[in-house]
């Protein structure tokens, strides 16, 4: 019984992610833009970010309601990238859009993306891929580009590439600085 209800919640969340993807692509179609295609690694990162946010309650200053410049920081962001086999080189032009909506109400979720400042990213021709993840009341959209700086192709961060030994030496400090830039959400 308990296992079933947990499974049920997980299935609802996946359904909610698909609904949002459809809604976003309908929005783009209505603007004559190409539909976004799913990116597994962007989805991985979206799920990890949602997992970080899930303990924060929804307020009128979280998610899509965030006042620009006051976005919450993700403490372990470099670790999240590593978990998803990504690095900052191929993700810096991407965009991470977190929203907090009680019970992920489908109508409010969609309008939080299409009728907020986030719409300025969703209607941007430079984005071509998307990954969506959710945890509790949080749902996170990660947008990717088709350029090397934002296509979320796998980054070297496991040091298993013989002729790329330098990657293992890259200073964490420099990465963190770049990541701060990535998190200037608006």
Ligand X SMILES: *[C@@H]1O[C@H](CO)[C@@H](O)[C@H](O)[C@H]1NC(C)=O
Distance CA 84, CA 41 (A): 6
Subset of residues 91 to 110 that bind ligand X, contact rule: CB under 6 A: 100-102, 108
Q: Judged by CB under 6 A, does residue 25 bind ligand X?
A: no
Phi-psi region of 112 (alpha: psi -120 to 50; beta: other; left: phi over 0): alpha
Per-residue x/- marks for ligand X, 50-69, CB under 6 A? --------x-x---x-----
Which of the stretches 5-13, 46-54, 74-82, 153-161 binds ligand X when contact is defined by CB under 6 A? 153-161
Closest distance to ligand X from the beta carbon of 102 (Å)? 6
Nearer to ligand X, 52 or 151 (CB): 151
User: Residue 111: exposed, middle, or buried by beta-carbon count in 10 A (0-12, 13-18, 19+)?
Assistant: middle
Helix H or strand E segment including 14: helix 2-30
Rounded to whole angstroms, the maximal C-alpha distance in the chain is 52
Binding residues for ligand X (CB under 6 A)? 31-32, 58, 60, 64, 87-89, 100-102, 108, 111-112, 115-116, 119-120, 123, 155-157, 167, 170
């Amino acid at each position: 019984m308990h296992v079933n209800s947990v499974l049920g919640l997980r299935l609802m969340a996946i359904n909610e992610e698909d609904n949002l993807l459809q809604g976003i692509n309908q929005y783009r179609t209505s603007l004559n833009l190409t539909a976004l295609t799913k990116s597994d690694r962007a989805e991985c990162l979206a799920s990890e970010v949602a997992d970080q946010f899930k303990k924060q309650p929804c307020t009128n200053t979280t998610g899509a309601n965030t006042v620009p410049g006051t976005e919450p920081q993700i403490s372990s962001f470099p670790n999240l990238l590593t978990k998803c086999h990504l690095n900052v080189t191929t993700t810096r032009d991407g965009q991470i859009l977190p929203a907090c909506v009680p019970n992920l109400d489908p109508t409010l979720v969609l309008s939080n993306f299409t009728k907020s400042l986030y719409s300025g990213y969703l209607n941007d021709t430079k984005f071509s891929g998307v990954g969506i993840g959710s945890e509790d009341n949080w749902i996170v959209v990660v947008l990717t580009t088709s350029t090397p700086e934002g296509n979320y192709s796998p980054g070297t961060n496991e040091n298993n590439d013989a002729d790329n030994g330098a990657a293992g030496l890259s200073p964490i400090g420099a990465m963190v600085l770049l990541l701060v830039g990535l998190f200037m959400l608006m």
